[in-house]
Amino acid sequence: MTGTGQPDEHCTILHALAAEVAAVTRLPGTVRRIAVHAAGHSLEVEWTDPEPVDAPPRPSADPVAAEAEAVTEAVDGVVVRAPLVGTFFTAPQPGAPAFVTPGDAVEKGQTLAIVEAMKLMNPVLAEYTGTVVDVLVGNGEPVEFDQPLVILAPGTPG
């Protein structure tokens, strides 16, 4: 910030960069802290450690988290979750075929959908090879962070 309280050009650029880094990160854990230093042109991003796989479930008053826990307990497969808040898209553009539909075989790293946030298109990727069991969100619907999106049955597709 300048002495006038107005953001200078460097601060504005660093702020936009910090927002983009937080939106597109695919590292394990979640963004815990972002520090922006305008005069020295630096950016610091700190992540929390991911929870161990065998960690006990966390109780939550958040309705999206409660829905996510219910979906996880009710399905036999892997739940692919929203990496960030945004708008869920099943296809790369309007009128195009969906990336995947129930019953489709997928490979690890294959795009399952897109979550658009702040005009950035963020691919939702398959973490396992397997078969799509269900797509839980409709095209163009808003999604919350960690919301269940797709259910995969891991393993070699049959």
Position 116 pLDDT exceeds 70? yes
Distance CA 75, CA 126 (A): 17
Question: Which tokens belong to 98?
Answer: 């969906």
pLDDT at res. 123 = 95
Mean of pLDDT over the chain: 76
Position 80 pLDDT exceeds 50? yes
Band (pLDDT 50/70/90 cuts) for residue 71 is very low
pTM check: above 0.85: no
| Domain range annotation of the chain | 9-47, 63-154
Residue 148 and residue 74 in contact, taking contact as beta carbons nearer than 8 Å: no
* Domain covering 63-154, topology: OB fold (Dihydrolipoamide Acetyltransferase, E2P) (2.40.50)
Q: pLDDT digit string (tens) for 122-156?
A: 999 999 899 999 999 999 999 999 999 999 998 87
Position 8 pLDDT exceeds 70? no
Position 75 pLDDT exceeds 60? no
Position 106 pLDDT exceeds 90? yes
Highest mean pLDDT among 3-17, 18-32, 64-78, 117-131: 117-131
Amino acid at position 37, single letter: H
